[in-house]
Amino acid sequence: MLHRHRRAAGSVAAATAALLVAGLSGSASARPAGPTADAADTAAVAAATAADTLRTADTSAAVLTAMQRDLGLTDRQQAERRLANEAAAGARAGTLRSALGADYAGAWVSGRESRTLTVATTDPADAPAIRATGAEPLVVRHSLADLDAAKERLDRAAAARRTTADVPVRYVDVRSNRVVMEAIRPDAARALTAAAGVDPALTRTVKSAERPRPLYDLRGGEAYYIGNSSRCSIGFPVTRGSQHGFATAGHCGRAGSSTSGYNQVAQGTFQASVFPGNDMAWVAVNSSWTATPYVKGAGGTQVQVTGSAQAPVGASVCRSGSTTGWHCGTIQQHNTSVTYPEGTISGVTRTTVCAEPGDSGGSFISGSQAQGVTSGGSGNCSSGGTTFFQPINPLLQTYGLTLRTTGGAPGDPGDPGDPGEPGGTWAAGTVYRAGDQVTYGGAAYRCLQGHQAQPGWEPPNVPALWQRL
């Protein structure tokens, strides 16, 4: 067994964010003379250049499809026009921000295709220059610099107080020309405003019951902690219906045991566990965690998992674990029995891959195919050793889990291809063993390699997995 007892508690927090600001193009109907004309010309050139750059970019078809779905767009062309307009608007708004200086109060786009760019200013005299670029001017009371400064004071006050959990979200809303505070209790927002010394005229409170939480990804090979006693590694992220979780070794925890993630954040609970006999378990995670189709590879790279076709004896196999990282070797024997001090487990696979305490539960993968979760062994990663893994397909079958996968290259298992005629006994999500027979599209097939079926792996599409009878 290769779990590791915890000796000290630590805390690691990482947060990343990316902010994309965009606005639109428009055609100028009039242009003032003098410096404002220069600003208009500069904005127009920048907008045209941005639009041309975007039009030559290779925007992913998946991005355009998602835009249609989530933004209520009618077709791909509408999505492309929206992107072009937003690229032009970003350049136009940036140029105007520089030209307006301290008067600038923000910019935003509107309309299904983002055709309208509005630029706010505190000085009515700026309106002709804004209009000359094709944007709509809006005269407001507070500059963006003033609003940003007010928000910064609110943030400092929030960091110094322990009672700001009821005002979890604060932002500058350029449309309303206010710093908005989303608050569980409005009186908490008033108290924060007073503590920050911010003029209430700069703020607006929106009552909200939402309490934002951080979101984390599950990756094979990452560490997780069981209670306050030990550490293991995630095997493979899985789902069961809409529930996300991960497969791991049974000796890592019993049903009901709670887990926390690599970052010490509350994560989930063991739903079922078998050890000895087998060495399998699965953990259901809370809504802060999401199953991904990845295993942590060498140097922290992400290795895609596209299925679970069982590799033969002699095949190469690699392991990811939270103690020793990424190591490779070969499969020596399937269907091995091994006796640990706690009892005997059967049906595991023996490998030449090394492992150490803390690697338990971690991913064994051959190419892009999930093989199993680390059980135990002998030796170490300095002198070498032998390691056993619990095969993944019996684990998935036992608990009714679906391996989280992503498609491979065209023609690989995972590529949807042509599903042929529907019908028959074959079903996605089913774990098949070598020798199992199914029907599909009016024909019969025999399984050649154990695997969990998934869309794109219909028998006619994957001759490496199915033989037509």
Residues taking part in catalysis: 251, 279, 360
Q: How far is CA 61 from CA 9, 57, 65, 68, in A?
A: 45, 12, 6, 11
Distance CA(373)–CA(72), nearest Å, equals 43
Bridge partner residues of 169 (DSSP) = 182
Question: DSSP 3-state assignment of 370?
Answer: strand
- What backbone phi and psi angles, to 5 degrees, belong to 414? 110, -20
272, 282 contact by CB (below 8 A): yes
Q: Which residues contact 37 (CB under 8 A, 6 or more apart)?
A: 31, 132
Measured distance CA(272)–CA(269) in Å, rounded: 9
What b/e sequence results for 182-217 when a residue is b if at least 16 CB atoms lie within 10 Å of its CB, and e otherwise?
bbeeeebbbbbbebbebeeebbebeeeeeeeeeebe
d(CA 21, CA 93): 9
CA distances from 146 to 151, 172, 203, 205, 239 (A): 9, 10, 11, 18, 48
Answer yes or no: are the C-beta atoms of 292 and 237 closer than 8 Å: yes
Measured distance CA(46)–CA(51) in Å, rounded: 9
DSSP 200-257: GGGEEEEE--------EEEEET-EEEETTTEEEE--EEEEETTEEEEEE-GGG--TT-
List phi, psi (to 5°) of 57: -75, 150
Element at 375 (helix H, strand E): strand 369-380
